[in-house]
């Protein structure tokens, strides 16, 4: 039996349709939860499109940037943004994003994959335990 990666590698049309569906779910997650779309996008890009781990992370960030900007605008327009500390958070997130993008170039794909899925697993366990 073929693995999921092998199936999508040999059926590009199916991979593209599944990628569009994953992108839709990524947008819904990011809009509804205020983030987290990358947790869906990265596995979709690696499994469905066969992207190497680092390229999948970079592509997810590039795809989520405009999505986050649109979501943020909607949150602000609906009064769901607290400027009393929100601007400090924005500064920290931007600084962290710059640091993370430099780290991405330095660490191995294996370590990146281990840390990424380890964080996802820990978050899932925490959610189930609470």
Q: How far is CA 107 from CA 14, 75, 99, 115, in A?
A: 32, 35, 12, 11
Average pLDDT score over the chain: 89
Read off the pLDDT of residues 74-123 as tens digits, 9 standing for 90 and up. 989 999 988 888 888 888 988 998 999 999 999 999 999 999 999 989 98
Kindly tell me if the per-residue pLDDT of 1 is higher than 70.
no
CA distance 54 to 52: 6
CA distance 78 to 21: 27
CA distance 19 to 13: 10
pTM for this one?
0.78
């Amino acid at each position: 039996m073929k693995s999921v990666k092998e199936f999508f590698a040999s059926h590009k049309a199916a991979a593209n349709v599944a990628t569009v569906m994953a992108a839709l779910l990524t947008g819904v997650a990011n809009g509804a939860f205020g983030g987290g779309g990358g947790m869906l996008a990265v596995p979709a890009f690696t499994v469905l499109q066969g992207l190497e781990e680092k390229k999948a992370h970079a592509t997810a960030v590039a795809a989520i940037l405009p999505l986050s900007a649109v979501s943020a605008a909607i949150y602000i327009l609906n009064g769901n943004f607290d400027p009393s500390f929100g601007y400090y958070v924005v500064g920290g997130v931007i600084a962290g994003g710059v640091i993370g993008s430099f780290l991405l170039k330095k660490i191995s794909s294996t370590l990146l994959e281990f840390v990424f899925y380890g964080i996802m697993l820990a978050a899932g366990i925490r959610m189930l335990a609470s």
